[in-house]
Amino acid sequence: MNYYQQHREQFLEGLKTFLRIPSISTSPEHTGDVRRAAEFVAGELRAAGLDNVELLERPGRNPLVYADWLKAAGKPTLLFYGHYDVQPPDPLDEWTSPPFEPEVRNGNIYARGSSDDKGQTYILIKAVEGYLATHGKLPVNVRFLIEGEEEVGGEHIEEYVSQRPARLKSDCAIVCDTEMFAPDLPTICVGLRGIVYGEIHVQSSDHDLHSGVYGGAAPNAIQAAAEIICALKDRQGRIHIPGFTDSVQLPSEEEKTAWARLPFNEEEYRVKEVGSTELTGEPGYSVFDRTWARPTFEVHGIRGGFTGDGAKTVIPARAVIKVSTRLVPNQKPAEVIEQLKAAVKAATPKGCTAEFRTVHGAEASLTDPKNPFVQAAARSLAQSFGSETVYIRSGGSIPVVGLFDRYLGIPSVLMGFGLPDDNLHAPNEKFHLPNFYRGIEAVAGYLEALGNT
Amino acid sequence: MNYYQQHREQFLEGLKTFLRIPSISTSPEHTGDVRRAAEFVAGELRAAGLDNVELLERPGRNPLVYADWLKAAGKPTLLFYGHYDVQPPDPLDEWTSPPFEPEVRNGNIYARGSSDDKGQTYILIKAVEGYLATHGKLPVNVRFLIEGEEEVGGEHIEEYVSQRPARLKSDCAIVCDTEMFAPDLPTICVGLRGIVYGEIHVQSSDHDLHSGVYGGAAPNAIQAAAEIICALKDRQGRIHIPGFTDSVQLPSEEEKTAWARLPFNEEEYRVKEVGSTELTGEPGYSVFDRTWARPTFEVHGIRGGFTGDGAKTVIPARAVIKVSTRLVPNQKPAEVIEQLKAAVKAATPKGCTAEFRTVHGAEASLTDPKNPFVQAAARSLAQSFGSETVYIRSGGSIPVVGLFDRYLGIPSVLMGFGLPDDNLHAPNEKFHLPNFYRGIEAVAGYLEALGNT
């Protein structure tokens, strides 16, 4: 047994401690927990033997956790990225075990953040810890930059990366926040969608009205919200935001051919992953196209009116629609925001006003699979998992990849260990423990391989 | 000064005590307050000198408050109706003064329930109290039946009236839960819309999904909710529920001519009452038609997804739409429920299931303005207010009027003292105090007039 195999129990206990901290970055009442999670990460990095461990502070922002080990002269420098903040756990009553009391069942650990992204961040830390513990040094230079605002737009890391690029000088970023295409199929993600997240504020009156007295003559903010939603995306799944898809860059024929070779059963995907009676989306595109290479418009919730138990006969005067669009290469968030503003205005029914307000935005990104850091990662993953590495895209958004490209001029290797059914952002999020353990060894093997080149 | 004028301060203090009880019938946590309000009404009736004061109980239901005075041999018997339960006060932050701390400003008393219906119920009690205090007896027989479930469907009163009609034997009901067409314009309401209130339960998946990973392929319960809403009522205000308007009975030419004579400024109504930039509704119909004589479809709120502060990128798996339809004469709630079920099913987009579930229903009702009890009421009102009484309809629903007709075979006189801008079911509900005081005198005058016939 090597060091990594000997320490599995400690790794699991450490991860559980990390998962018990409800570091929900979108909830102001969890600010203290968010800080505790940052301090936990810093403590782990210090214990692992990293140098210059530090919480990078900025008023009103969640700390970034920084650490480095830069004693491998002449060797490349890797920038390890992960995030310690998590999504809210609601709806709470759908969790089998409580979201912040990690529980192991059937080889998985269940908790909010287990896969996204505490489990994966912890892989990076434990790989370096193990290597230092067994060799006394690392074969390459490493920096860690672990953030606490990934789920809320990542403003702090954007400010830091854009303002202090010299402090982060590296040759390649290793981003551990994606998933494997299938269990036992090591995967590198070479494409991510961007995002524009925002709110549509709808107003139909200056006060709520009684639906008996005014029903038939008064506009209704939620009816208007529904009309706006349906105007922006139709029943067939086609998006109607003028200009929105004009600049979309299509995937290459080579990439589409590789996707066609991936083991994929659409019916199994529908039943086991999506859990719906039918798949939906833009007509004429494959599932990979629709989730990786096409932009989306999605509504996340509508606030306003009466939603409690029982009956209240109100005509709501105001509604707020939470929406996002996922963007693909060549779409610019700033342009999409203007397109959304115009489309919402045009779709607003009479008697109402509506306005799109941006919450955050990020560009899509692509990595060249032929990059040598990507190639080395593919070999290390193949070795640890005993299977050829595949290249996929992800429909999600990891804005930091664009930041590293723009301000540090480095590519990102998206080496993920999650699984498609990990229930990210949903109840019963889990992380597959065999991937956790093999991931630690794969990252350590990658360090070794890069040191030998 | 007569008794009523001498006791205005006591009447106001008593009303304030009544209004301080948060008797919100739709909220299980207010069950105790609902009971307190019933006991308050019983105490007031007892103090007024009524006989047989009693809380009529039924397990799981809010008590009915009963009282009578039946010593006027050979004289008609009136059944006084009101309700002591109120709507929820949310959104709380839009109230100028707290909803359950009544405050007098500019001649109005502000509190939830001030107009709907505690203030009006209190008028009935104080009119009888004053008459008994000054004459030692009443000129007619009266029964009181005050309910605590008007805002939640009124199941208890429906059961009681249908099962114990002999106990309530009367010649006419006096329902004090409507409004005057304008200040100083005494008004009797001779038409009410019915209602079917329900929930549309939408499901798109068995669990919430990440909008990055699955956006483009997975159905979205709130998008589906919006599509269903827009399918049932279009952008022009036309309702598309097959069969829904087939049986609608139109108002007579005589009634429409009387409506045309009412003092009404549509622009003032839009600005001061509705508070929107434009009026909406079915094309080709007047405001009176649209709010009194045409059925409606209205959405009250959508539960599901993420509506908190910040950003959560969830594809919601479930949504519940709160909706109601207002019904006009000849529409049958049971038929409308079937029509709604079929329309919802037909409007459900692919990948989703949706189902209409009834919360409650009630028929519309009409009263003949030539009925002698109506005519006598019109004369008493004209005398107290110094102006001719007008006949209007109301767009709201008072299901008890249908019950009294069906099970007791009696007409209802809808003698209301609210005003159109009372903010019923909305923040800053108010009751105009001059109407409160004149209403008490008008009801007392009505008793006297009926006793003399």
Specify the pLDDT at position B421: 86
* pLDDT at site B424: 86
Cβ contact (<8 Å) for A217 and B193? no
In the prediction, which pLDDT does A79 show? 98
Cβ–Cβ below 8 Å for A314 and B425 = yes
Burial of A283 (0-12, 13-18, 19+ CB in 10 A): exposed
The whole-number average pLDDT for the span B99-116 is 97
Average pLDDT over residues A242-252: 95
Q: What span, in angstroms and rounded, lies between the C-alpha atoms of B239 and B207?
A: 32
Q: Which of B93, B289, B298 should we substitute to test contact with A (largest number of A Cβ atoms within 10 Å)? A: B298
Across A89-179, the runs of DSSP E, i.e. the strands, are: 103-105, 108-110, 141-147, 172-175
Give the integer Cα–Cα distance in Å for B90 and B26. Answer: 12
% of chain B exceeding 90 in pLDDT: 89
CB pair distance less than 8 Å for B274 and A310: no
Put simply, the answer to whether A211 touches B296 (Cβ < 8 Å) is yes
Chain A positions in Cβ-Cβ contact with residue B151 (cut-off 8 Å): 311-312
pLDDT exceeds cutoff 80 at B294 = yes
**B337, B196 in Cβ contact below 8 A?**
yes
The whole-angstrom separation of Cα B426 and Cα A120 is 49
Q: Give the pLDDT confidence score for residue B86 in this predicted structure.
A: 97
- A334 pLDDT exceeds 80? yes
Does position B312 have pLDDT exceeding 90, yes or no? no
CA-nearest residue of chain A to B194? A212
Contacts of B329 (CB under 8 A, 6+ apart): B191, B248, B249, B364, B365, B366
Give B284's pLDDT tier (boundaries 50, 70, 90).
very high
- DSSP element (H, E) containing B156: helix B155-163
Contact B275 A317 (CB under 8 A): yes
* Pick among B192, B299, B324, B357 to test the A interface (most A CBs inside 10 A): B299
- Do A209 and B279 meet the contact criterion of CB atoms below 8 Å apart? no
Residues of chain B contacting residue A204, judged by C-beta atoms under 8 Å apart: 276
Residue of chain A minimizing CA distance to B308: A303
Query: In Å, how far is B235's CA from the nearest CA of chain A?
Result: 7
CB contact under 8 A, B210 and A350: no
Interface touch B274/A217, C-beta < 8 Å: yes
Residues of chain B with Cβ-Cβ distance to A315 below 8 Å are 298, 300
Confidence of residue A200 (pLDDT cuts 50, 70, 90): very high
Of the two residues A309 and B187, the one the predictor is more confident about is: B187
Contact (CB<8Å) A308/B208: no
Handedness of CA B350, A325, A113, A90 (dihedral sign): negative
| Residue A93 region by backbone torsions, left for phi larger than 0, else alpha for psi between -120 and 50, else beta | alpha
Binned at pLDDT 50, 70 and 90, residue B397 comes out as confident
Check residue B297 and give its pLDDT.
98
pLDDT reading at A226 higher than 90? yes
Q: Do A291 and B225 touch (CB under 8 A)?
A: no
Structure tokens at A406: 């723009």
Please identify among residues 389-428 of chain A the ones whose CB lies closer than 8 Å to any CB of chain B.
Answer: 394-397, 420, 423-428
Q: Are B187 and B387 contacting, i.e. CB atoms less than 8 angstroms apart? A: no
Say whether B305 and A310 touch across the interface (CB within 8 A). Answer: no
Least confident range from A53-57, B26-30, B333-337, B398-402: namely B398-402
> Which two tokens mark A243?
């200009």
| The dihedral sign for the CA sequence A257, A258, A263, A266 | negative
pLDDT at B420: 83
Res B453: pLDDT: 76
Q: A33, A150, A151, A363: which is the annotated catalytic residue?
A: A150
pLDDT exceeds 80 at position B24: yes
Residue A15 CA to residue B358 CA, distance in Å, equals 48
Q: Does B245 touch chain A (CB under 8 A)?
A: no
pLDDT for A183 beyond 90:
no
pTM of the model: 0.83
* pLDDT at residue A424, rounded to an integer: 87
Query: A-chain residues within 8 Å CB-CB of B90?
Result: 306
Chain-chain contact of A280 with B219 (C-beta, under 8 angstroms): yes
Amino acid in the structure at residue B273 = E
Please determine, for residue A227, whether its predicted confidence score (pLDDT) is greater than 80: yes
Which residues, 6+ apart, have CB-to-CB distance to B136 below 8 Å?
none
Going along B118-193, which residue ranges are E strands? 141-147, 172-175, 187-192
Measured in angstroms, the CA of A317 and the nearest CA of chain B are apart by 9
pLDDT of residue A425: 84
From the list B233, B300, B309, which residue is nearest A211 (CB)?
Answer: B300
Write down the mean pLDDT value for chain B. Answer: 95
pLDDT confidence tier of residue A293, bands split at 50, 70 and 90:
very high
Return the sign of the alpha-carbon dihedral for residues A201, A203, A208, A213: negative
Cβ–Cβ gap A219/B278 under 8 Å: yes
pLDDT exceeds 90 at position B32? yes
Residue B232 confidence (pLDDT)? 98
Is B219 within 8 Å of A276 when comparing Cβ atoms?
A: yes
pLDDT at A165: 96
Residues of B in contact with A93 (CB under 8 A): none
CB proximity under 8 Å: A 60-119 to B = 87-88, 90-91, 94
> Chain B within 8 Å of A216 (Cβ-Cβ)?
yes
Q: Which residues of A touch B324 (CB under 8 A)?
A: 211, 215, 311, 313
Range with the poorest average pLDDT among A342-351, A397-406, A430-439, B44-53:
A397-406
pLDDT cut 70: percent of chain A above it? 100
CB < 8 Å from B in window 146-165 of A: 151-153
Q: Does A265 touch chain B (CB under 8 A)?
A: no
Whether residue B70 is predicted with pLDDT greater than 90 in this model: the reply is yes
Q: Which residues of B touch A216 (CB under 8 A)?
A: 281-282, 285, 290-291, 294, 296, 326, 395
Put simply, the answer to whether B212 touches A395 (Cβ < 8 Å) is yes
Distance of CA A166 to the CA centre of its chain: 26
- Which class for B386: exposed (0-12), middle (13-18), buried (19 or more C-beta within 10 A)? exposed
A235/chain B closest Cα distance in angstroms: 7
Q: Would you call B370 an interface residue with chain A, using a CB distance cutoff of 8 Å?
A: no
What is the distance in angstroms between the Cα of B18 and the nearest Cα belonging to chain A? 21
CA distance B349 to chain A (A): 7
Q: What pLDDT score does B93 carry?
A: 92
Tens of pLDDT, residue by residue over B208-223, are 999 998 999 999 999 9
Give CA–CA dist B444/B131, Å, rounded.
Answer: 6
Mean pLDDT of B436-443: 96
Cβ atoms within 10 Å, residue A332: 16
Burial (CB count within 10 angstroms: exposed 0-12, middle 13-18, buried 19+), residue B99 = buried
Q: Which residues of B touch A317 (CB under 8 A)?
A: 275
Considering only the beta carbons, identify the residue of A219, A277, A301 that sits closest to B222: A301
The pLDDT score that the predictor gives to residue A420 is 84
Q: Which of B30, B117, B274, B421 to mutate to test the interface with A (most CBs of A within 10 A)?
A: B274
Name chain A contacts of B153, Cβ cutoff 8 Å: 311
**What does the alpha-carbon distance between residue B380 and residue B159 come to, in Å, rounded to a whole number?**
33
Q: With bands split at pLDDT 50, 70 and 90, how would you rate the model's confidence at A199?
A: very high
Q: Does residue A365 carry a pLDDT above 80?
A: yes
- Model confidence at A216, pLDDT cuts 50, 70, 90, reads very high
What pLDDT shows up at residue A346?
98
* Pairing mode, strands A194-203 and A318-327: antiparallel
For chain A, what is the mean pLDDT?
Answer: 95
Asked if residue A453 has pLDDT above 80, the reply is no
Do the Cβ atoms of A305 and B299 come closer than 8 Å? yes
Are the beta carbons of A207 and B428 separated by less than 8 Å? yes
Q: Which domains does chain A have, with CATH numbers?
A: 3-192+364-451 (3.40.630.10), 194-248+295-362 (3.30.70.360)
Using a pLDDT cut of 70, give the percent of chain B over it: 100
Buried b / exposed e over B224-257, threshold 16 CB at 10 Å, is bbbbbbbbbbeeebebebeebeeeeeebeeebee
Q: Which residues of B are catalytic?
A: 85, 150
* Ramachandran angles phi, psi of B438, nearest 5°: -70, -30
- The DSSP secondary structure of A275-297, one letter per residue, reads -SSS--SSTT--HHIIIIIS-EE
- Which residue, A133, A73, A82, is CA-closest to A415? A82
Q: Given CB atoms, is A298 within the 8 Å cutoff of chain B?
A: yes
| A230 touches B at CB < 8 Å | yes
Q: Chain B closest CA to A153's CA: distance in Å?
A: 8
Which residues of B fall within a CB distance of 8 Å from A222?
Answer: 229, 299-302
- Give me the pLDDT at residue A402, please: 87
Q: What is the mean pLDDT of residues A28-47?
A: 97
